Amino acid sequence: MLGFGSKSRQAASAAVGGKDRFETIINSIADGVIMIDKQQVVQLLNPAAAELCGWKIDEATGINVNQVFKLANKKGEPLKTSEDPLHKIMESDKPIRVDEAFLLNRNNSQVAISLSLTPLPDPEGHVSGVVAVFRDVSTETAQQQQRADFISTASHEMRTPVAAIEGYLALALNEKVATIDARARDYLDKAHASAQHLGQLFQDLLTSAKAEDGRLTSHPTAVELGSFLDKLTSDLRLVAEKKGLFVEFVVGSKDSVINATKSGAIQKVVRPLYYVYVDPDRLREVITNLFDNAVKYTPEGKVSLGLTGDGNVVQCYVRDTGPGIPAEDLPHLFQKFYRVDNSATRTIGGTGLGLFICRKIIELYSGRIWAESEVGKGSTFYINLPRLSDQKAAELQKAVPAVEPLEPSSSL
Ligand code: ADP
The model's pLDDT over 34-78, given as tens digits with 9 standing for 90+, comes to: 999 989 999 999 999 999 999 999 999 999 999 999 999 888 888
Q: Is 342 in the pocket of ligand 1 (CB under 6 A)?
A: no
Q: Is 345 in the pocket of ligand 1 (CB under 6 A)?
A: yes
Query: Could you tell me where the beta strands, DSSP code E, fall in 105-149?
Result: 110-121, 127-136
Residue with the nearest Cα to atom 13 of ligand 1? Answer: 339
Q: Ligand 1 test: best mutation among 319, 336, 355, most atoms within 8 Å of CB? A: 355
Q: Ligand 1 test: best mutation among 202, 207, 297, 347, most atoms within 8 Å of CB? A: 297
Q: Is 351 in the pocket of ligand 1 (CB under 6 A)?
A: yes
What pLDDT does 318 receive?
A: 98
63-76 burial, b for 16+ CB within 10 Å, e for fewer?
eebbebbbbbeeee
Any residues with CB less than 8 A from the CB of 125 and at least 6 apart, and which?
none
Q: Ligand 1 test: best mutation among 200, 290, 292, 293, most atoms within 8 Å of CB? A: 293
What pLDDT does 7 receive?
A: 53
Distance in angstroms (rounded) separating the CA atoms of residues 169 and 69: 60
What pLDDT does 42 receive?
A: 95
Using an 8 Å Cβ cutoff, are 43 and 15 in contact?
no
Q: Which of the residues in the chain have pLDDT under 50?
A: 1-5, 254-266, 402-411
Using an 8 Å Cβ cutoff, are 166 and 199 in contact?
yes
Helices and strands: H and E segment counts in the chain: 13, 14
In this structure, is the dihedral angle defined by the CA atoms of residues 83, 86, 90 and 96, taken in order, positive or negative? positive
What pLDDT does 356 receive?
A: 95
DSSP code of residue 408: P
Using an 8 Å Cβ cutoff, are 338 and 188 in contact?
no
What is the CA(170)–ligand 1 centre distance, in A? Answer: 28
Distance in angstroms (rounded) separating the CA atoms of residues 256 and 253: 6
What is the pTM (predicted TM-score) of this model? 0.69
Q: Is 53 in the pocket of ligand 1 (CB under 6 A)?
A: no
Helices (H), 223-268: 225-242
User: Ligand 1: which atom is nearest the Cα of residue 381?
Assistant: 23
The DSSP H or E segment spanning 156 is helix 138-173
